[in-house]
Amino acid sequence: EDALQSLTSTCDLLEIDGKHSFRYVSIYLDTDDHHCFRDHNQSRRHRLKLRFRHYADTRQSYFEVKVKGLRNQTNKYRTKVDLDQLENAQLTPDLRSFLEQQLLSHPHKIADRAYARTIQVDYERMTLVSREEPVRITIDHRLTFSHQSNVFSTGDDLWVMEVKSEKGRSAVDRLLSQKGIRPVPRCSKYCVGLSLINEIKRINRFTSTANRIRRMT
C-alpha cells in the first residue's frame, strides 16, 4: 500500500465508471508436450504465446497471439471472439488462419501438433500510467491458476506488479527499489502457473518463483 501511494504521486490510476480494479480471465493454449512453455523455459529468442483473454467487466473477449522476436521485443495481435469461442477455447480453423497470418512477418513456426487449452488464470488488475515518462504499471492480485481439478489461489495478500517501459529502467523502477521492492528474475503467469498447479513437475527456470509464491501464500 505504501508503494502504491508513492506511485500515485506521479502516476494516474485507471478509472472506469468509478472502478479501479477489473477482472480478467486468461486461457492459454499449448501442445500436449508444452511447446510454448519449453521455448520460454529455454529462453528461445523466437517464441510465441497463445491465449484467450476475457475482460469480465465489459464482457469483451479476444484471441491473442504474443510473439517474442528480435531485440527482445514483444508484438501482440488479437481478434475479437464471442463467449462461445471463449468457453470452448479451441484453435478453430479461423483462429489458426489468423495466427498464421500474423506470423508471416516473424520467423516463427507453428507446432505440427494440436494446440489445446492448458491453464486458466483469473485475477483482478489495476493499471497506472506515469505522467512523467512512457511507463505503464499493472498490479494483479487475487490470482487463481486452474486446469481441470488442479487449482492454486494466491489469496488477497500477494500482488504481482509489472513495470512496462519503452526505455528500459525507469524512475518507477528506481522508486520501487528505494522501497525495497526488487524484480523477480522470471515471472510469466503462464509458466509459473504451470508449476504451481503441477502441470510441469520437473525443475525449470520458473520453479524458484513458484516456490517463493507458495511460501508467501
- Per-residue pLDDT tens digits for 9-19: 889 999 999 99
| Whether the Cβ atoms of residue 89 and residue 54 lie closer than 8 Å to each other | no
Give the model's pLDDT for residue 149: 94
What three-state secondary structure class fits 37? helix
Give the model's pLDDT for residue 166: 76
Give the model's pLDDT for residue 111: 79
- Find cell 507458495 and name the residue: 214
State the average pLDDT for the chain.
91
The average pLDDT across 68-82 equals 87
Give the model's pLDDT for residue 10: 87
Lowest mean pLDDT among 62-66, 158-162, 185-189: 185-189
CA–CA separation, 119 and 138 (whole Å): 21
2-216 homologous superfamily: Hypothetical Protein Pfu-838710-001 (2.40.320.10)
| Whether the Cβ atoms of residue 135 and residue 165 lie closer than 8 Å to each other | yes
| Whether the Cβ atoms of residue 120 and residue 152 lie closer than 8 Å to each other | no
With cut-offs at 50, 70 and 90, classify the pLDDT of residue 189: very high
Tens of pLDDT, residues 164-188: 887 778 888 888 888 888 888 778 9
Beta carbons within 10 angstroms of residue 31's beta carbon: 17
The average pLDDT across 59-66 equals 97
Tens of pLDDT, residues 105-156: 888 778 788 999 999 999 999 999 999 889 999 999 999 999 999 999 999 9
Give the model's pLDDT for residue 127: 96
Encode 131-143: b = buried (16+ Cβ within 10 Å), e = exposed.
Answer: eeeebbbebbbbb
| Contacts for 142 with CB less than 8 Å, ≥ 6 apart | 122, 123, 124, 153, 154, 155, 156
Whether residue 1 is predicted with pLDDT greater than 80 in this model: the reply is no
Number of residues in the chain: 217
| Contacts for 81 with CB less than 8 Å, ≥ 6 apart | 52, 61, 62, 63, 95
Q: State the amino acid at position 11 in one-letter form.
A: C
CA–CA separation, 52 and 125 (whole Å): 17
